[in-house]
Chains A and B, each alone.
Chain A
Amino acid sequence: MNVLRMGVALAVLCCWWSAPSEARPITYTGGQVLVAEAQADQWQARYTYSHSFRHSTSVGYVRMEELRNTGQLELGYVRAAWLARRWNQPTSQGNLFVWGGLGYASTDLGSGIGRHVGFQADWETRRVYTAAVSELHDGSGWRHRNDTVSLGVAPFEHDFERTAVWLVGKGMRTTGMIDDKPKAALVLRLFNPSWWLEAGVDSNGKPLAFFMINL
């Protein structure tokens, strides 16, 4: 019942809250992943090493364009992520992750220390996926927040060795952009134990893509 309540709470959240992807920031002990993500006005790349299923360390890069005050932003960072809570149920799993780190940022106004924090709450079965992700990039004279909520449906239940197919609807918003109105997006998500691929289009007709590989 707790899982049901959590799922309903996340679904409700989807209705009012709106752009990072919601691939998990921690995998498993010794797991290494490479992530690359592209959206209309921003790009991310990240390498993550998971010390355990609860902790990981990442080295990442974010580039954002079309920013209202700073033109563009480049942030290279090192961050640590922590699985604050996991709910394992017979047919579902829920997670709450938080992360934070420091790096070096460069904007049209100058360079300096950049900060990077975020959280992710997700809940999934083999047919339904919900997630809420928020990331804050912050530095001297600038601050941008990426918020994403997702609701995904799988047309069939995948198994371990099979490639999973999901159709995921997203609500996204990045504050501080010239156009910072919420956007919707629809993506096709495919994954198996080795790789994860998403591709789709947002409500402005711009493509977005995400790729993650288990090393």
Chain B
Amino acid sequence: MNKLFQILGVFSLLLLLAAPTGAVAVDEATESVRVEVNGLVCAFCARGIRNTFNREAATADVLVSLENRLVAVEFKPGMSLSDDEITKRLVDSGYNVVSIERTSETVAAIRSSLD
């Protein structure tokens, strides 16, 4: 019986140790893209970018920054858009894509870093 308690104790300890690892895993599951875009000069006109990505089922959050020539899109867990799909949506919105960078940052974190 004591051996059973010892095994349960070790198992519980392992679970506790695993808990922080699980939290990190949630962060790592966040997938966003930072897209450098040419032509971003007018807020009224750039509204289409936000609307386009907000219509996507994969989108969790969108950031448009004229100052940084940046469009950032955060995806829902387990969902994403390919670079080609992102490029197509931005080109169809009337802009040119310079680069696409994948990141584990949330859009909220990207927004904070720009403030």
Complex CA–CA separation, A160 to B69 (angstroms): 10
Say yes or no: A52 contacts B43, CB within 8 Å: no
Task: Please encode chain A, from 123 to 149, with 1 for each CB lying within 8 Å of some chain B CB and 0 for all others.
Answer: 011100000000000000000000000
For the complex formed, measure the closest distance between the CB of B5 and the CB atoms of chain A, giving whole angstroms. 58
B24-58 contacts to A, CB under 8 A, are: 38-39, 41-52
Most buried by B among A28, A83, A157, A161: A28
Say yes or no: A191 contacts B47, CB within 8 Å: no
Partner of A158, one of B66, B92, B96: B66
- Cβ of A2 within 8 Å of any chain B Cβ, yes or no, is no
- Cβ of A86 within 8 Å of any chain B Cβ, yes or no, is yes
- Cβ of B64 within 8 Å of any chain A Cβ, yes or no, is yes
Say yes or no: B69 contacts A194, CB within 8 Å: no
Partner of A157, one of B39, B64, B67: B67
Say yes or no: A93 contacts B66, CB within 8 Å: no
For the complex formed, measure the closest distance between the CB of A179 and the CB atoms of chain B, giving whole angstroms. 33
Partner of A196, one of B44, B52, B98: B44
Q: Tell me the interface secondary structure of chain B in the complex.
A: mixed
* Number of B positions contacting A (CB below 8 A): 25
Taking CB as reference atom, which chain B residue is nearest A87? B39
Partner of A27, one of B41, B48, B64: B48
Residues of A within 8 A of B41 (CB): 91-93, 124-126
- Cβ of A5 within 8 Å of any chain B Cβ, yes or no, is no
- Cβ of B59 within 8 Å of any chain A Cβ, yes or no, is no
- Cβ of A89 within 8 Å of any chain B Cβ, yes or no, is yes
- Cβ of A110 within 8 Å of any chain B Cβ, yes or no, is no
For the complex formed, measure the closest distance between the CB of B101 and the CB atoms of chain A, giving whole angstroms. 17
Taking CB as reference atom, which chain A residue is nearest B93? A28
Say yes or no: A28 contacts B66, CB within 8 Å: no
Task: Please encode chain A, from 15 to 36, with 1 for each CB lying within 8 Å of some chain B CB and 0 for all others.
Answer: 0000000001001111100000
Taking CB as reference atom, which chain B residue is nearest A91? B41
Say yes or no: B93 contacts A53, CB within 8 Å: yes
Complex CA–CA separation, A93 to B44 (angstroms): 13
Say yes or no: B38 contacts A29, CB within 8 Å: no
Partner of A159, one of B43, B50, B96: B43
- Cβ of B94 within 8 Å of any chain A Cβ, yes or no, is yes
- Cβ of A164 within 8 Å of any chain B Cβ, yes or no, is yes
Say yes or no: A30 contacts B51, CB within 8 Å: yes
Complex CA–CA separation, A160 to B67 (angstroms): 8
Query: Can you name 8 A-B residue pairings with CB atoms under 8 Å?
Result: A28-B48, A28-B93, A29-B93, A83-B94, A92-B41, A93-B45, A164-B44, A192-B44
Give me the 3 closest cross-chain CB pairs, A-B, nearest first: A28-B48, A88-B39, A53-B94
